[in-house]
Amino acid sequence: KPMEGRISDIGPRHFGEYLPPVIKDNFGKWAYHEIIEPGVLLHVADSGDKTYTVRAGTARLMTVTHIREICDIADKFSGGYVRFTTRNNLEFQVETEEKAKELKAFLNDQKFDGGSYKFPVGGTGAGVTNIVHTQGWVHCHTPATDASGTVKATMDVVFDDFQDMKLPAPVRISMACCLNMCGAVHCSDIAILGIHRKPPILDHEYLDNLCEIPLAVAACPTGAVRPSKVEINGETYKTVAVKEERCMFCGNCYTMCPSMPLADKEGDGIALMVGGKISNRITKPAFSKVVVPFIPNEPPRWPTMTKVIKKILDTYAADANKYERLGDWANRIGWERFFEKCDLPFSEHLIDDFRDPAYYTWRQTTQFKW
Ligand code: SF4
Ligand code: SF4
């Protein structure tokens, strides 16, 4: 039944219609919550009502059959209610701790034919939660790397820390397959970012028919694109020219103009960033810094990238104080030590803007500066 006063035939239905009764009854009136064991949360309302939440990871790209299976689990255990978190975890809510433990065991027992987990329970507290990621080669037009592949490979090497809560603090890992970044790589403890390193290729013969030239010009944040004319086999084509030394390989022009693709096997790859967070617990929120400027794409398992991520995570786990987020740890020991301890070379590629005045030091600013 539509919520009162709401036009329900436009857009999605009001989320309030889908809240489990305990949430509806106690909306905005929750006293506290705690994590009672990895993957299981308890929320207690002012009224004394309690709800236990069991959290499980997902594959993010799912078949309808798989989604039906999730719905069947919700029907069986949690009154038909299921929630997807912003980090693509599943959450089922039940009334008692016993039911939560039963559901946790059930979810951990669900396996694919190959024996790997379908719905591994975890992702809470001082561990790695599910990796938020973007579309990758499957869906989007500007990716410089794959999303599902890089995330699957990463998740496999950090899986123990998804199931446990033995890290000093939560570690949020994110993935965006281009720097337009519909992921959260700017503010994650560890971030995987797809980057292009070559300017767009220009399909002069098709460009005027496929694109609005003024739109392609306006799309470029650095003013590298201008209208132009090109002669090919005696024919003049209205097109664009790109000032390559100005191009920062962002792909915005390609978003506006499909005749300016910039995907390239050698040019595309991955940068790693660390030290960001959105929490204001203990220290202020922080942006991530680039610590590895480029790793080539190595599908299907991205071994170089996963080795570096594992090294950063293990070094942090061994060296940081309790409650210290990854960036706080690096700030405390000094970023020079971070690079040493994680066996990462520091190069000029990590310096954000060498044209900025020298009164910024790389200690005070978001990125490393001269
Ligand atoms: Fe597309 Fe970029 Fe988002 Fe990836 S991060 S899905 S390439 S806009
Ligand atoms: Fe401009 Fe970005 Fe296109 Fe380069 S890739 S020309 S910087 S819009």
Report the amino acid identity of residue 294: F
Distance from Cα 251 to the centre of ligand 1, integer Å: 10
* Contact by Cβ (8 Å): 175, 150: yes
Atom 6, ligand 1: residue with shortest CA distance = 135
Distance from Cα 140 to the centre of ligand 1, integer Å: 6
Distance from Cα 1 to the centre of ligand 1, integer Å: 37
Q: Taken in order 323, 328, 334, 337, is the CA torsion positive or negative?
A: positive
pLDDT for position 8:
60
Report cis status (omega within 30 of 0) of the bond before 345: no
Atom 8, ligand 2: residue with shortest CA distance = 220
Pairing of strands 173-176, 190-195: parallel
What number of residues does the chain have?
Answer: 370
Strand partners, 238: 229
Instruction: Write out the two tokens for 238.
Output: 């209205």
pLDDT in tens, the chain (370 residues): 555 666 666 777 788 999 999 999 999 999 999 999 999 999 999 999 999 999 999 988 899 999 999 999 999 999 999 999 988 899 999 999 999 999 999 999 999 988 999 999 999 999 999 999 998 998 888 999 999 999 999 999 999 999 999 999 999 999 999 987 777 788 999 999 999 999 999 999 999 999 999 999 999 988 999 999 999 999 999 999 999 988 989 899 999 999 999 999 999 999 999 999 999 999 999 989 999 999 999 999 999 999 999 999 999 999 999 999 999 999 999 999 999 999 999 987 787 654 545 444 444 445 665 4
pLDDT for position 359:
43
Query: 258-284 as b/e, with b when 16 or more CB fall inside 10 Å?
Result: ebbbbbbeebbbbbbbbbbbeeeeeee
Report the amino acid identity of residue 127: G
10 Å CB burial of residue 132 (0-12, 13-18, 19+) is: buried
How many angstroms separate the CA atoms of 251 and 272, rounded? 19
Q: Is the ipTM of this complex over 0.90?
A: yes
Q: Which of 183, 197, 185 is nearest to 268 (CA)?
A: 197
Atom 1, ligand 2: residue with shortest CA distance = 220
Best mutation site among 207, 243, 252 for ligand 2, i.e. most ligand atoms within 8 A of its Cβ?
252
CA dihedral 19, 25, 27, 30 (to 10 degrees): -120
The closest-lying atom of ligand 1 relative to the alpha carbon of residue 144 is 7
How many angstroms separate the CA atoms of 182 and 142, rounded? 11
Distance from Cα 242 to the centre of ligand 2, integer Å: 8
Q: Which of 305, 310, 302, 40 is nearest to 161 (CA)?
A: 310
Distance from Cα 293 to the centre of ligand 2, integer Å: 19
Q: Which ligand is nearest to the CA of 223?
A: 2
Q: Which of 215, 219, 210, 328 is nearest to 259 (CA)?
A: 210
- Under DSSP, the state recorded for 260 is S
**Angle in degrees, CA 90, 86, 162, rounded to 5:** 60
How many angstroms separate the CA atoms of 203 and 206, rounded? 6
Pocket of ligand 2 (CB under 6 A): 199-200, 219-220, 222, 224-225, 242, 247-253, 262
The closest-lying atom of ligand 1 relative to the alpha carbon of residue 147 is 4
Atom 3, ligand 2: residue with shortest CA distance = 253
pLDDT for position 362:
41
Distance from Cα 139 to the centre of ligand 1, integer Å: 9
137 ligand 1 Cβ < 6 A: no
Q: Which of 132, 128, 129 is nearest to 167 (CA)?
A: 128
Distant-in-sequence, close-in-space partners of 61: CB < 8 Å, separation ≥ 6 = 138, 148
pLDDT for position 11:
74
Residue 294 CB: number of other CB atoms within 10 A? 15
pLDDT for position 300:
96
How far CA 90 is from CA of 71, 95, 136, in Å, comes to 11, 17, 21
